[in-house]
Amino acid sequence: METVMTTLIPMIKADGIQIKLFMLGKEKQHYTEWLEGIEYKSSMCIHKSKKVRNLVYTIALSRFLYQEKPDLIICTNSLACLIADFARKICFGHYPLISWSHNSLIDINKKAGILRADFHLAIASEITEQLIQSGAEKSNIYTIFNPCKPAKRLIPRPTDKHKFAYLGRILFGDEKRLKDILDAFSTIENEFELHIVGDGKEMKLTQDYAKQLSIYPKIVWHGWQHEPWEVLQDITAIILASTHEGFGMVLVEAAAHGVYSISSSCPTGPKDIIQEGTNGILFEPRDIQALHSIISNIINGETLPDQQLIKSSAERFYPENYYNLFKTSLISIMEKWHNKLT
């Protein structure tokens, strides 16, 4: 979400629109570099009681809204929607509340807060469907996806041996399913190299499993990288085996670099990004055999799409195109809101 914010906020400000952030949390932000140059306030509460914390947040946000008198509020999660709705009522605010969740709504507890919003910005088509199924009006939902900056370079394909990469948090069995990726490679007889870029609490578990499968020597462990794509000198394809995503930004970033993607068709995001025959291929989540077959076919000489074609598929997510859609959505929301009040 920080990446999206640092891309979007400067464009909003350059357009002459004032924007301020208000952050809620149980502890102070440890990573604040992304907030540089952004006007923000926060309310932090470490009380054990959730009700007390929510009350503190509501009072703080009510004061903020009373002082600022905004034209609209955008909330990035379910709790923020809930708090903002209470705060808006306390200070008699007459402006729209907009949800902008950056996660799938598979958790039923998230839906109640989200539905407090009057309108919704969805970062994936499947989130739009989840909102509709939860009771939101289709006409009040705007599917805008997420922005991705153009890449500085195309990453060439290797000429010596096939190299694959995973970029993201190291989660062995949950969500990211690194286990499935390792299992798929464990029975590949041809020569290959797997690059894993990222860190996480299950790094040792993942490395131990790779040793157990006897593929550890074929893996390059890069750890966390500030510029993850810069460590990949050449690459055949990236792999994403998640059970769920918010958007799947790594797939757009891969396309921007001209890199082919092998991704699970998990909710939400990959099916919006992957265009089979153009920039990648999809397989069912947890289908290790399907993933194995895709990798084998590539190693055995399957022709991949032209890298310039892959790169062109990312253009609709570039910041300028994204901002036009974002701004158009907000203009439509404000028009609907004013029509509702009159």
Q: What is the spatial distance between Cα 72 and Cα 137, in angstroms, rounded to a whole number?
A: 19
pLDDT in tens, 82-101: 999 999 999 999 999 999 99
Q: What is the spatial distance between Cα 57 and Cα 42, in angstroms, rounded to a whole number?
A: 9
Q: Which two three-digit tokens encode residue 64?
A: 């903020």
Q: Is residue 41 a contact partner of residue 22, using CB atoms and an 8 Å limit? A: yes
SS3 of 250, please?
helix
pLDDT in tens, 231-246: 999 999 999 999 999 8
Q: What is the overall mean pLDDT for the chain?
A: 94
* Residue from 145, 126, 144, 105 nearest 271 by CA: 126
Is 0.85 surpassed by the pTM of this model? yes
CA distances from 63 to 51, 54, 189, 199 (A): 19, 14, 64, 40
Indicate the pLDDT class of residue 342, thresholds 50, 70 and 90.
confident
pLDDT in tens, 99-118: 999 888 876 566 788 999 99
* Residue from 299, 302, 298, 294 nearest 181 by CA: 294
pLDDT in tens, 187-204: 999 999 999 999 999 999
Give yes or no for residue 28 having a pLDDT over 70. no
Whether the domain at 2-147+318-341 and the domain at 162-317 fall into the same CATH topology: yes
Q: Which two three-digit tokens encode residue 121?
A: 């910005």
Domain boundaries, the chain: 2-147+318-341, 162-317
Residue 1, pLDDT score: 78
Torsion of Cα atoms, 164 then 167 then 173 then 174, to 10°: -150
Residue 229 CB partners (closer than 8 Å, separation 6+): 151, 155, 167, 253, 257
Radius of gyration of the chain (CA): 22
- Expressed in angstroms, the distance from the first to the final Cα of the chain is 35
pLDDT in tens, 150-165: 999 999 999 999 999 9
* Residue from 252, 255, 256, 287 nearest 269 by CA: 252
Q: How many helices (H) and strands (E) does the chain have?
A: 12, 12
Give yes or no for residue 30 having a pLDDT over 60. no
Q: What is the spatial distance between Cα 339 and Cα 336, in angstroms, rounded to a whole number?
A: 5
* Residue from 303, 320, 269, 289 nearest 122 by CA: 269
> What are the strands, taking DSSP E only, across the chain?
21-25, 40-44, 73-75, 97-99, 119-122, 141-143, 162-167, 192-197, 219-223, 237-240, 260-264, 280-283
pLDDT in tens, 205-229: 999 999 999 999 999 999 999 999 9
CATH class of this structure's domain 2-147+318-341: alpha beta
Question: Tell me, which fold does domain 162-317 have in CATH?
Answer: Rossmann fold (3.40.50)
Q: What is the spatial distance between Cα 196 and Cα 193, in angstroms, rounded to a whole number?
A: 10
Chain Cα centroid distance, residue 226: 17
Q: Is residue 225 a contact partner of residue 249, using CB atoms and an 8 Å limit? A: no
pLDDT in tens, 32-48: 777 888 888 889 888 89
